[in-house]
Amino acid sequence: MEKKRKIKVLVCKPGLDGHDRGAKVIARALRDAGMEVIYTGLHQTPDDIVNTIIQEDPDAILLSILSGAHNALCPAIMEKLKAKKINDVLVSVGGIIPEEDKKFLKELGLDGFYGPGTELKTIVEFVKNNLKR
């Protein structure tokens, strides 16, 4: 009887926006789905986030950005991860992301976009099914 490995997720709020309702609700939902969740708190710079990823070694990261700063913050984070040769972490983003930006972000290696109204179980399932390790 092989026990399933615990999934560890980092929920991050990069940038300055303080709207953390969504991030917190998602953190709880992931926990209730049996995952181990670390919530970074507000106002994380890309360096903060990458440092946390290195030390905590999570399976997945959820970035929550509602200020429209995703096109600046996501590339900064992805570049720093690349520089550290971290490529086995699923990186998703929640927030108000226009369609054409999704294409751009997908090319950077982000996968999974949760806009307003996304159901919690959709997010939980996505994380479960798209892990990279």
Binding site for other proteins (CB under 8 A): 1, 3, 5-6, 8, 15-21, 24-25, 27-48, 51-52, 54-57, 67-73, 76, 84, 86, 96, 98-99, 115-117, 119-121
CB closer to other proteins out of 68 and 109: 68
The Cα–Cα gap between 72 and 110 comes to: 13
Identity of the residue, 32 or 107, whose beta carbon is nearer to other proteins in the bound complex: 32
Q: Cβ–Cβ contacts within 10 Å for residue 106, how many?
A: 12
Closest approach of Cβ 96 to other proteins, in Å? 6
Cα distances (angstroms) measured from residue 85 to each of 31, 52, 57, 68, 70: 28, 15, 13, 27, 22
Q: How far is the CB of 31 from other proteins (least distance, A)?
A: 3
Helix axes 120-129, 21-32, angle to 10 degrees: 60
* Residue 91 CB, nearest approach to other proteins (Å): 16
Contact yes or no for 30/9 (Cβ under 8 A)? yes
Question: CB of residue 61 vs other proteins: minimum separation in angstroms?
Answer: 14
